[in-house]
Structure 1
């Protein structure tokens, strides 16, 4: 069982990650590339000799329209909707959505498959998923939608999201993109277009970062469409849904991985250049397993893995991220441990590399992906 009171120093963290990256250099993960919705970088100002200049790029600003109660059941927009974020209190099964398209009008009713149970950890209380039922539904450019709830459901909330056609927003990238940390490439939050203002509410950070020693690693899928033509836009939709609609203050995962194997930095963890950690090597708390977040690192594969496996590139990047985390923190990828939440004392016996459904009542990370976890643990241990 991991020692919840231990911490990894920054020097140990950097050294261990560097050693792990070197050990797997013979079979690296897919190189990351700039998000497809990021415009061509502007011409950088001349840099001083021997230095590199930062670059500015433009990313579509996220447009959103939120509603609650009766108003949330019938929404029309003046922008194309890529996703509809929906949540309610009550039964997980039985909800339905009907999309409206400008040319064809209302479509047929489709069932809503509620997705991952997430949310913050609460001190002094037992683990509880919140909201009870939630989904991020692809809308394909619809201009409106109607919602139908299961019997007994209350407190409906919905948000229409456009992450591709909004007004251009300028952001600053590091001199090189993608960012490379100890030989491992990933897309920083700025590179995929995270609007950091969304972490704040009324001028105050909504969910200030907290850090704890890492104990476990959890695999998710995002339950979004496969063969995604614009995964960066999907990451921005998840960010908006988690940070604003669900009021978590940030995206719920530490890392996300698309089908091309690109690794996306998730939960904000500071400006020290160590994704997912603070300068002392403790893991930032995210929101991917309500009640079991603190000391638990969440990695989400973009797509739906109910009836199909992840791509080879996505799986390789997943194994890489898990191997880096396990070796850095001295964890055995094939161990069975007792997780102890340092915030509320909740305990859970679980595999060190687990699936979301091992923690909470959810289908995540999809039936096919879940069935491959024993093989994944062996792959990670072999790196």
Structure 2
């Protein structure tokens, strides 16, 4: 049921306007949680916002598919009017996926076997839903996890919808020399950050940097269209989970492309404000502010990331620890600035160091020592 990826999702060239390179900043402060309460709008009719702080940077108009979504509730079979690329599944009553399942139905009416919902990844651990690749299915059927209430789902197409035009800067953008794809360059629809009344669902809040947390997205490896997957994660986090934005500060695909995540304004570099403080994301419930989240696309429970992704993660983390002047091999005391709760963690940690979750996968978690060593060696 697969189809070739569409060209807008495979922009290998990084494009953004925010190219401010901040000097080293101290790392002292804290982390908080933003809890949005209202669903964001999904109107894609206008171009996505983009920043243009570089006076010499030009822009070019590119097209991206508008995300199409159909919501459903309960376990009854669901059909969609478009090829389903991803299915978001959310529920209440438990943060476990045990007993839950899904089976897909092709356009010819054939049904796949039941498959488990998986471990759910970061989103479920943080109180959100799970995102499942659907391989262009025509429909699906669900089994709710044991003890779940209020089962709901969302069929998503982030690859074949009507085109919308986006102004994308022509020059590559870098974080202290590390190239990345801006939100505009991977097709983020900035309207998803806003409520129906036009107010921002989760207004940006900034705190001094403290730590870096590594995640995996717990989705399929060998992804043929990672930018489409990033757009689907964005939809799940911003709208289905009602967080108002994508939860991570950066994402990295298997080929080593780095994607800008959480919106941080138009006057600083990604994930930061002009003073070098970190925008609060939604990746470690209860410990978010001052905690910078990087997610590797894929599942790394039984295998590690491909070498390009591993190298990109090392480059990005190296740039960030240099920016903030911290020791990548240190143990630190993270302090939540809202309630003063503290936690002893490594300067570069995995999601499971903060809460009960498989993230970032058993194999990737074992690689964190290698990451810390590689980053530290480059600093000498």
Work out whether the TM-score is over 0.5: yes
User: CA shift at 1:322, angstroms?
Assistant: 1.1
Q: Secondary structure at the match of 2:121?
A: coil
Structure 1 position 116 matched with structure 2 position 121: yes
Is 1:75 aligned with 2:72? no
Q: Extract structure 1 runs of 4+ deviating beyond 6 A.
A: none
Match of 1:301 in 2: 296
Question: Residue in 2 aligned with 1:290?
Answer: 285
> Post-superposition shift, 1:92?
2.9
1:66–1:245 CA contact under 8 A, matched in 2:
no
Correspondence for 1:152: 147
Gaps spanning 5+ residues in structure 1: where?
Answer: 1-11, 18-49, 120-127
Deviations 1:176-205 (A, max 9, x none): 2x3234422110000000000000012110
Establish whether residue 378 from structure 1 lines up as the match of residue 373 from structure 2. yes
- Number of the residue aligned with 2:112: 107
> Residue in 1 aligned with 2:101?
96
Residue in structure 2 matched with residue 192 of structure 1 by the alignment: 186
Instruction: Return closer, same or farther for 1:52/1:267 CA change in 2, 3 Å cut-off.
Output: closer
Aligned match for 2:356, one of 339, 354, 361: 361
1:254·1:298 contact (CA, 8 Å) conserved in 2?
A: yes
> Within 2, Cα distance between the matches of 1:223 and 1:129?
14
Q: Indicate how the Cα distance of structure 1 residues 76 and 173 shifts in structure 2: closer, same or farther if over 3 A, else same.
A: same
Shift of 1:13: 6.0
Query: How much has 1:153 moved relative to structure 2?
Result: 1.2
Structure 1 residues 76 and 115 mapped into 2: Cα distance closer, same or farther (>3 Å)?
Answer: same
Alignment of 1:201-280 (within 5 A): 201-202=195-196, 203-280=198-275
For residues 102 and 311 of structure 1, the distance between their equivalents in structure 2, rounded to whole angstroms, comes to: 33
1:55 partner SS: strand
CA RMSD of aligned residues (A): 2.1
Contact 1:117–1:290, Cα closer than 8 Å, also in 2: no
Q: 1:129 aligns with which of 120, 126, 129?
A: 126
Q: Per-residue CA shift, 1:17-76, capped at 9, x if unaligned?
A: 9xxxxxxxxxxxxxxxxxxxxxxxxxxxxxxxx9553111000111111233x3x64321
- 2:62 counterpart residue number: 57
Q: 2:313 aligns with which of 314, 318, 323?
A: 318
Give 1:118 deviation, angstroms.
4.3
Please state how far the C-alpha of 1:310 moved relative to its aligned partner. 0.8
Question: How far apart in 1 are the matches of 2:56 and 2:101?
Answer: 55
- Partner SS for 1:105: coil
TM-score by length of 1: 0.82
Q: 2:97, 2:120 within 8 Å by CA — same for their partners in 1? A: no
Runs (5+) with no aligned partner, structure 2: 1-19, 26-54
Task: Provide the rounded CA distance (Å) in 1 between the counterparts of 2:175 and 2:147.
Answer: 49
Tell whether the 8 Å contact from 1:198 to 1:244 is kept in structure 2 after alignment. yes
Q: 2:177 aligns with which of 183, 188, 191?
A: 183
The question of 1:86 aligning with 2:81 is answered no
- Residues 1:342 and 2:337 are matched in the alignment: yes
Deviation at 1:116, TM superposition (A): 2.6
- CA distance in 1: counterparts of 2:58 and 2:330, whole angstroms: 45
